[in-house]
Amino acid sequence: MANNIRAIWETDPDAKPKERNFSNDFVGRFRSGRLVGKAPEALNDWRITTGDPTVADKVAQLFGGEPEEWETDKEDNLEVLTDSASVEIIIESSDAVDASMKLFGMSGLVHHCDGVKYLSPEEDKGEPCGCPAAFQDRKDKARTGRGPKPSVDVTFKLADAPELGIFRFNSGSWELVKVLHNVIADIDRAGGREYADDDTVTVKGGAVRATLSIENVSYTTKAGRDVSYNKPVVKVLGVYEAAQSADLPMAA
């Protein structure tokens, strides 16, 4: 029998359901929190979401937990609440780490900059964004909802299952932003990327092996108040080729 599914929508194209978007080729996302009702909950172990049952089964096998459906309008409708606070990953290069500042409103993204200049929309790109110069002032403005907060993206493969494909982690952590320049430098150094005086790049090595972890920070302030929060941590271990076992396939 011929597949005539496309013909169904020819007479009413506006009613056709939106196609799944695979343009980014992410097989899953690592998340350090979830919503319980309408309240956000920080997690001590990684939560991994995906739309692929095979990927869900594999990450559950590697990191614990069970694949379950969760309510979302996105394509990653399966989640695994793992037992792992730290996983080993493969980062292809520092180009796999991206950071900017974003503020979302009712209509979507309303402010997108690098802290100094707008990155979008196109008509404003390169213009001064008006963000405070001081780091703490930026945090304070973001906390009141009047300024953007960090949006850090890291894409990677799993060291124990690189064949699954590329995963993504997005974070709004100010603590990660503080050290992100060191993470990028460590990736470049371990991977063999060198910068000349004219900013040209020489790549001598390859991907790096790293850990992606959720770390808890707890302390008591001078006023006697107990503070506890989780933060994401990326730690570069070394060149992927040197760290891998002889029978582990190379990342594509």
pLDDT digit string, tens, across residues 172-195: 999 999 999 999 999 999 887 665
Report how many domains make up the chain. Answer: 2
Which of 84, 115, 150 terminates a domain? The answer is: 150
Based on the domain organization, do 121 and 238 belong to the same domain? no
Based on the domain organization, do 165 and 214 belong to the same domain? yes
Based on the domain organization, do 137 and 35 belong to the same domain? no
pLDDT per residue as tens digits for the range 27-84: 999 999 998 888 889 999 999 999 999 999 999 999 999 999 999 989 999 999 999 9
| pLDDT at 12 > cutoff 80 | no
Q: What is the pLDDT of residue 195?
A: 57
Residue 251, in any domain of the structure: no
Which of 132, 150, 168 terminates a domain? The answer is: 150
Residue 190, in any domain of the structure: yes
Q: What is the pLDDT of residue 217?
A: 93
Based on the domain organization, do 138 and 128 belong to the same domain? yes
Helix, strand, coil percentages, rounded to 5, for the chain: 20, 40, 35
Cα-Cα-Cα-Cα dihedral of 69, 70, 75, 78, to 10°? -40
